[in-house]
Amino acid sequence: MRVILNADDFGRSRQINAAIIRAHKEGVLTSASLMMAGEAVEDAVVLARQNPELAIGLHVVVINGRSVLPPERIPHLVNNQGFFSNDAVSAGVKYFASPRLQNELAQELSAQFECFSKTGLPLSHVDGHLHMHVHPTVFDRVIDLADQYEAHGIRLPNDDLGLALRYDRSQAFLKSVWALVFGLLRRWGVRRLQGHDLEVADRVYGLMQSGKMEEAYVLRLLRSLNVPSAEIYFHPASLPVGEALGPNPVDLAALLSPTVRQVIKERGLCLSTYGTLRDIKRGEL
């Protein structure tokens, strides 16, 4: 079984960058997703070049973050400071209904992929901040760009609601809603990916415990894995950032845990990347 251990928000801040590199060098992290408008994106690119075994993907941002294009280029998509809306539901409805916003989204998405290309880093995979890359209006453009820029894979959330609730029954209703919504989006996304050369992991964990991927939970995931491939994503940070679902030291501790490493070894799990999945499909591994 192949398992990808990914960190989101690479480039958001220097302390997050440092936590990600530590999780890779001292722990079990295999890949990270880069925010092209992050405050510390240049630092992240330097660190990625210094650690070529860490696979780097693009963390698409079209909500709760900053654009790479200046506000005057996309005036209906961002505010005067260049920030997207923080309201995912409202923004999602507007993205679906407004041709003007769709045109500006297409420009911004193209710009984010082009900015990544200019780093010279191989594009391992594509995912999205708050999973907005799977929004129907966004997804079709993203997969075309992922093909154009030769990404190896794309994240389609596919968490295990039962396992999550057995571990932690808090917010059970919200988790159930997430499972329904993202389950439907995954099935739709898999159909849309037909004809595209992009790998998808059989399971993608992290949604149900976002912001608190504790060692005990990660150990349960690893011990229960029974699919050919899985991605487990984290938000590691050396210090709390004050966001319930965001970067935190708990995720970093799990990635550095000797017990996590031991269970991976005991189960014979192969630490992998989306590039590994692609190579297996092509018969190159």
Instruction: List, for residues 21-43, the tens digit of each pLDDT value.
Output: 999 999 999 999 999 999 999 99
Mean pLDDT (the chain, rounded):
96
Residue carrying structure tokens 């029954």: 169
The pLDDT value recorded for residue 218 is: 98
173 burial via Cβ count (<10 Å: 0-12, 13-18, 19+): exposed
The pLDDT value recorded for residue 109 is: 98
Domain extent for 221: 2-281
Q: Which pTM does this prediction carry? A: 0.95
Residue 130 has pLDDT above 90, yes or no: yes
- How large a percentage of the chain has pLDDT more than 90? 94
| H helix count then E strand count, the chain | 11, 8
The pLDDT value recorded for residue 6 is: 98
Q: What is the amino acid identity at position 116?
A: F
Would you state the structure tokens that stand for residue 158, as one six-digit string? 């596919």
pLDDT in tens, 135-181: 999 999 999 999 999 999 999 999 999 999 999 999 999 999 999 99
The pLDDT value recorded for residue 241 is: 81
Q: What is the mean pLDDT of residues 13-20?
A: 97
The pLDDT value recorded for residue 209 is: 95
* Cβ proximity of 145 and 195 under 8 Å: no
The enclosing domain of 160 has a CATH number of 3.20.20.370
The pLDDT value recorded for residue 196 is: 94
The pLDDT value recorded for residue 283 is: 80
The pLDDT value recorded for residue 222 is: 98
Residue 260 has pLDDT above 90, yes or no: yes
Residue 285 has pLDDT above 80, yes or no: no
Residue 100 has pLDDT above 80, yes or no: yes
The pLDDT value recorded for residue 284 is: 75
Kindly state the DSSP code that residue 152 receives in the 8-state scheme: S
Alpha helices of the chain — where are they, by DSSP H?
Answer: 14-25, 41-50, 88-97, 99-118, 136-148, 161-167, 172-192, 215-224, 249-256, 258-267, 274-281
Neighbour tally for 82: CB within 10 Å: 18
Q: What is the mean pLDDT of residues 252-258?
A: 98
The pLDDT value recorded for residue 243 is: 82
Confidence of residue 122 (pLDDT cuts 50, 70, 90): very high
> How many structural domains compose the chain?
1
Residue 244 has pLDDT above 90, yes or no: no
Confidence of residue 245 (pLDDT cuts 50, 70, 90): confident
